[in-house]
Amino acid sequence: MTVTETQAPPAATTPAPALEPPRPSTGLAAVLGTGEHRTIGRLWIFTSFAYLLVAGVAGALVGVEKVDTDGLGDVLGADVFGETLSLHGIAGTFLFLLPLFIGLGIHVVPAQVGAATVAFPRATAAAYWTYLLGGAVLIASFVADGGPFGADSRFVELFVASFIAVLLALVLGTICVATTAVALRTTGMGLHRTPLFAWSSLVTAALVVLQLPVLAGLMLLVYVDHRYGPTFLGGSGGVLDRIAWAWSQPSVYLFAIPVLGIIGDIVPVSARTRLSKHRIAQGAIGAFGALAFGAWAMPGFGADGAAPLLHVGDVPFYAFSILILLPALAFAGLLGDTVRRGSLRVTSPLLWGVASLLMLLTGILNGILVAIEPLDLIQTTAQTAQIHYVLVASLLGLFAGLAHWAPRLLGTPVQEVASKALAALGLVGTILLCLPDVITGFLEQAWRLQGVSGDDVDAVEVLNVVSIVGGLLLVLVAVAFVGLVLKAAVGRDHDGDDPWEGNTLEWAPAGATPAITSEAPVYDARHGAGPSTTEAK
């Protein structure tokens, strides 16, 4: 048999088809799947605006109750008042102020330290979506008669659980910002040369990481107590006491730390010079942060769900309350010296920043008064005023940051004239909101609907009306400024020009990153690389 071997002709070697590169997503898919830090930063910022609206409306409702001190609780009812007050506090701090700072940090800090992106961008995105959805569930639980003072126990528990999720999201978000400042700095930028906002973000993140897990752990305890009682934490009515320490003295100053960094970046730019003694400014912010640590000042566990304030009157409480004035004053002094050396140009970010710093200093002074036990101002409206001074100062400072970085955030600046007017109105509104409360505190008006124990009811009611007017003015100012930001955001979606002639790296022209030999590299490049502040000192 003959076997014929057949051999297949050699196959022509055709090159493997090139793999198609991944197509970038568009539309909603692009937003849902984004890992781009500027987009994520804007998402944090705009979402925080929505929650600001919730906090403002809740605050207005709380204010209405104070008009008639005889009929406290008549408008909303005692429980609904408690729920609304809780919503005002939680939405204002944990759904607005901290997220707004995180949004600014995610957008600005990478550019300030010369990084291409934020550290862990997907974790940043996960933190944002958890904050968004968790915040929505939290507010829904209030609507369904849950939250502190809520009557429906299931939704009280849902509030606690969703609040824990929000807290964890905030911790994750700040870790991403802090890691960017620590680990992604460009060549030449030591920690001592980081811009003050990036530095203050690092200090804030350290405080958040130390403090918010404590609050989350406490909320876990509240959840277990409420769900699997018998309760020893006072049921739903006791929940607010377990949260309120986070925005009371000294923890309340946590929200103001990034504001120092923002103002510290704005003032030298407005003064067209570099900051005096950058390292001392960093030290002042660090000391302010250390003295803002307040997880130790939470209420104790008393009988029948009572929350005794064991720290009041103790030496640490006095020390923290008084000493925090020193770094704040030192910082203000450095800024004053910078202005003195420079050539001041009044911009809207500067006005917002000055208003913020003034209110912060006033709040610290108010806090010292509250801490002095013989004055008996704890749990009076004077303490409410102190909390408002510091938190509204934080709001004004963050608005200063938005106005300052708007060309980078939104592609175009916000309207200067309108922004300046709003900054002035914001200052007036804050004083009108807080100063009457300080006075009524001395007239022994207790906070949270507990009535007036003195003989000056008429005077207290008049002052309460003035305070409400101030609060409403602030709400209007905030809404109008958000409107300005949204107006600026429409139409432009790229980094705009530098209208301020900024000093730090985020203002460097694209593709022309200067050598970093000081904390103000763009200023150096513009004016010729003179001696750095560090060396000049």
Partner 1 sequence: MITTGSKFFYGVAALLAFAAVVYGYASGGGGVGPISFGYKGGVGEHLGYGILLAGAVSALFAGFCVTAFRDADPEPTAALLGADTVPAATTTGSSFWPVVGAFGVVLTVVGVVLNNVFFVAGLIALGAVAIEWTMQAWADRATGDPAVNREIRNRIMFPIEVPLAGILAIAIVIVGYSRVFLAVSKLGAVWIALAIAATIFVIGTILSLRPRIRTDLVAGVLAAAAVVTIGLGIFGAVAGEREFHDLSEEHAEEGGAEAGASDESTDEGASEESN
Q: H-type helices in 98-152, by residue range?
A: 98-113, 121-143
* Residue 46 CB partners (closer than 8 Å, separation 6+): 486, 489
Nearer to partner 1, 184 or 473 (CB): 184
Strand partners, 445: 452
Which CB sits closer to partner 1, 166 or 488? Answer: 166
The closest alpha carbon to 531, from 278, 168, 220, 219, belongs to 278
Q: Name the DSSP class of 532.
A: -
CB of 129 to partner 1, least distance (A): 3
SS3 (DSSP) at 490: coil
Distance CA 216, CA 81 (A): 24
Smallest distance from partner 1 to CB 54, Å: 18
Largest CA distance in the chain: 127
CA separation for the pair 79, 73 (Å, rounded): 8
Query: Smallest gap, in angstroms, from Cβ of residue 192 to partner 1?
Result: 5
Match 């500067």 to its residue by tokens.
Answer: 350
User: Closest distance between partner 1 and the C-beta of residue 147, in Å?
Assistant: 13
Q: Which tokens is 502 given?
A: 């900024």
Task: Dihedral sign for Cα 386, 387, 390, 395, please.
Answer: negative
Shortest distance, position 337 Cβ to partner 1, whole Å:
22
Minimum Å gap between C-beta 248 and partner 1 is 22
Tokens of 253: 């100053």
Positions touching partner 1 (CB under 8 A) are: 18-22, 24-25, 29-30, 32-36, 115-117, 121-123, 125-126, 128-130, 132-134, 137, 154, 157-158, 161-162, 164-165, 169, 182-192, 286, 290
Kindly tell me which of 32 and 462 has the beta carbon lying closer to partner 1: 32
Asked if residue 263 lies in contact with residue 328, where contact means CB atoms within 8 angstroms, the answer is no
CB of 419 to partner 1, least distance (A): 32
Q: Rank residues 375 and 536 by Cβ distance to partner 1 and give the closer one.
A: 536
d(CA 36, CA 122): 9
Give the nearest distance from C-beta 347 to partner 1 in angstroms: 31
Q: Across the strands, what pairs with 452?
A: 445
d(CA 319, CA 270): 35
Q: How far is the CB of 209 from partner 1 (least distance, A)?
A: 12
Q: How far apart are CA 21 and CA 12, in angstroms?
A: 26
Write down the residue that tokens 């910082």 correspond to: 331
Least separation in angstroms between CB 90 and partner 1:
16
Token digits of residue 66: 């104070």
For residues 233 and 359, which CB has a smaller minimum distance to partner 1 in the complex? 233
How near is the Cβ of 181 to partner 1 at its closest, in Å?
Answer: 10
In the bound state with partner 1, the residue whose beta carbon lies nearer, of 38 and 388, is 38
How many Å from the N-terminal Cα to the C-terminal Cα in the chain? Answer: 102
Residue 129 or 318 having the CB closest to partner 1: 129
The residue (of 138 and 468) whose beta carbon lies closer to partner 1 is 138
Report DSSP state, residue 445. Answer: B
CB closer to partner 1, 162 vs 394: 162
Question: For the stretch 11-33, what's the b/e string if a residue is b when 16 or more beta carbons lie within 10 angstroms of its beta carbon?
Answer: eeeeeeeeeeeeeeeeeeeeeee
CA nearest neighbour of 266 among 45, 494, 500, 462: 500
* Shortest Å, Cβ 133 to partner 1: 4
User: Where does residue 362 rank: exposed (0-12), middle (13-18), buried (19+ CB within 10 A)?
Assistant: buried
Q: Which is nearer to partner 1, 162 or 430 (CB)?
A: 162
Listed residue (197, 291, 183, 307) closest to 245, CA to CA = 307
Alpha-carbon distance of 93 to 391, in angstroms, equals: 8
Residue 80 makes CB contacts below 8 A (sequence gap 6+) with: 149
Q: Where are the alpha helices (DSSP H) in 9-120?
A: 27-32, 37-64, 78-92, 98-113
CB 191, min distance to partner 1, A: 4
Identity of the residue, 211 or 445, whose beta carbon is nearer to partner 1 in the bound complex: 211
Cβ nearer to partner 1, comparing 148 with 441: 148
**How many residues are listed for the chain in this entry?**
537
Residue 327, preceding peptide bond in cis (omega within 30° of 0): no
Residue (30 or 151) nearer to partner 1, CB: 30
Minimum distance of partner 1 from residue 533's CB (angstroms): 15
* Between 128 and 245, CB nearer to partner 1: 128
